[in-house]
């Protein structure tokens, strides 16, 4: 297979995954955006967690909310925190309590009833994300999960879940960032009337 074939295959697989996402998960994506907007409207905050590429997606989406999503859409900053951003907290917690507690500990510290946890995991099986979801439930947070494949262990544990119909990590991550952008659009429309 040459480079052109590799590139074409990747693009076509990404398009196919997104077409299936549109067919299967459109209403859940809308529900996710409405949930996030409602939490912010009620003066709650959004916490994001994920590992690896999903950690980057968590930071990316949080930044869109704190700063702005679309150029020209001037609005106040919104309270969003990526729980993978504080290296001192992550390494201290990893050292003192174990890596599986790095997000749950921060949910305990920052989360309040009425807030939202966005749990991002391509497999649905990341133990530290699962523990964050469990802590969020116990604390009274709403939970939105962005998953892939068959949803893994997190399937059915959230107020809203979106399962990208693919088992390929790259295709799932591409879809997760698209979903995050759609959620940002819904928030800006609902809270500020911005397109």
- Tens of pLDDT, residues 162-182: 999 999 999 999 999 999 999
Residue 126 has pLDDT above 90, yes or no: yes
What's the pLDDT tens digit per position in 9-28?
999 999 999 999 999 999 99
Per-residue pLDDT at 140 exceeds 90 = yes
Q: What is the pLDDT of residue 9?
A: 96
Domains held by the chain: number? 1
Cα separation, 84 vs 65, whole angstroms: 16
pLDDT value of position 127? 98
Residue of 34, 179, 27, 28 whose CA lies nearest to 116:
34
Work out the average pLDDT over 63-90.
96
Angstrom distance (rounded) from CA 101 to CA 99: 5
The span from the CA of 122 to the CA of 129, in Å, is 11
Query: What domain range is 151 assigned to?
Result: 3-192
Distance CA 118, CA 142 (A): 9
Mean pLDDT along residues 128-147: 98
Residue 127 is part of a domain; what is its CATH number?
3.40.50.10490
Packing angle of the helix pair 127-139, 102-110 (nearest 10 deg): 20
Q: Tokens at residue 9, please?
A: 């295959």
Please write the tens of the pLDDT for every residue from 36-45: 999 999 999 9
Q: What is the pLDDT of residue 174?
A: 98
Kindly report the average pLDDT of the chain as a whole number.
97
How far, in Å, CA of 185 to CA of 97, rounded?
Answer: 37
Q: Sheet of 160-164: strands edge to edge?
A: 80-82, 46-49, 116-120, 142-148, 160-164
């Amino acid at each position: 297979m040459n480079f052109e074939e590799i590139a074409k295959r990747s693009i076509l697989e990404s398009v196919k995954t997104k077409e299936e996402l549109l067919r299967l998960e459109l209403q859940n994506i809308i529900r996710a955006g409405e949930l996030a907007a409602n939490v912010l409207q009620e003066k709650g905050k959004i916490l994001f967690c994920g590992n690896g590429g999903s950690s980057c997606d968590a930071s990316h989406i949080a930044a869109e909310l704190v700063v702005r999503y679309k150029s020209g859409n001037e609005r106040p900053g919104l309270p969003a925190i990526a729980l993978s951003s504080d290296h001192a907290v992550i390494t201290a917690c990893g050292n003192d309590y174990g890596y599986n507690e790095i997000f749950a500990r921060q949910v305990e510290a920052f989360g309040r009833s009425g807030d939202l946890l966005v749990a991002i995991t391509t497999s649905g099986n990341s133990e530290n994300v699962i523990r964050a979801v469990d802590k969020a439930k116990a604390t009274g947070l709403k939970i939105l999960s962005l998953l892939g494949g068959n949803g893994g262990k997190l399937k059915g544990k959230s107020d809203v879940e979106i399962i990208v119909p693919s088992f390929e990590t790259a295709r799932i991550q591409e879809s997760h960032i698209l979903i995050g952008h759609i959620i940002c659009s819904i928030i800006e429309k609902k809270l500020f009337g911005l397109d």
